[in-house]
Amino acid sequence: MPQLIEKDACDLLDADHVAVKHLFVEYARLATAGDPAGERQAYATKICSELTVHAQIEEEIFYPALRKAIDAPELLDEAEAEHQEAKDMIAQIEAMAGPDAAMDDLVAKLAAAIEHHVKEERTQLFPKARSAAGLDLDALGAQLRQRQQELEAEMA
Ligand SMILES: [Fe+2]
Ligand SMILES: [Fe+2]
């Protein structure tokens, strides 16, 4: 039997980034196509819940581990500030009654903000995490996965 290879912390988080990017693309495609059935509401809900879980596991587990292992407090402060901005947009989207032009604008704004944030994680935080001495990214990946599953179960 092939051995199951678990993702390390950076790969697990980046898989989330890719998954939510697909949801944003699908939302935009529906919005452009007119979406008479209002299907993009379900995409907006999924985008918001997936980003909420992702931000929470980063804030509870990944960022604190990085604060100890790498010397880049300003990068982590910036990342946390960007999470707060995203959470404010997510709360506004979740409070909206249904898909309309205002939701489309806000989802597009959130997509752009997340794209910027993910780029910083990929180009700055992940390389620093990968080269940090004494940071066990496999163990951290397992912790992230467990917490992610717990939060997803709570939300379901
Ligand atoms: Fe992330
Ligand atoms: Fe993040």
Q: What is the pLDDT of residues 19-71, one digit of tens each?
A: 999 999 999 999 999 998 999 999 999 999 999 999 999 999 999 999 999 99
The answer to whether position 143 is within a domain reads yes
Q: Ligand 2: distance of its center to the CA of 156 in Å? A: 22
pLDDT at 139 over 90: yes
- From the CA of 16, the nearest ligand is 1
* 2 band by pLDDT with thresholds 50, 70 and 90: low
pLDDT at 80 over 70: yes
Structural domains in the chain (count):
1
Provide the CATH number for the domain around residue 91: 1.20.120.520
Host domain of residue 136: 9-155
Burial of 12 (0-12, 13-18, 19+ CB in 10 A): buried
Distance CA 28, CA 36 (A): 14
pLDDT value at position 4?
66
Triad 138, 63, 27: Cα angle to 5°: 90
Average confidence (pLDDT) over 74-99: 97
The answer to whether position 2 is within a domain reads no
* 152 band by pLDDT with thresholds 50, 70 and 90: very high
Q: Ligand 2: distance of its center to the CA of 86 in Å? A: 10
Q: Ligand 1: distance of its center to the CA of 56 in Å? A: 10
- For 39, which DSSP code? T
Distance CA 80, CA 41 (A): 27
Q: Ligand 2: distance of its center to the CA of 35 in Å? A: 30
Q: Ligand 2: distance of its center to the CA of 102 in Å? A: 25
pLDDT value at position 6?
86
pLDDT at 3 over 80: no
In Å, the largest CA–CA distance within the chain is 53
The answer to whether position 32 is within a domain reads yes
Average confidence (pLDDT) over 84-91: 98
Average confidence (pLDDT) over 8-20: 98
The alpha helices in the chain, defined as continuous H runs, are 9-32, 40-57, 63-69, 73-95, 101-120, 126-131, 137-155
pLDDT at 155 over 70: yes
Residue 91 corresponds to which tokens in the numbers above? Answer: 């709360």
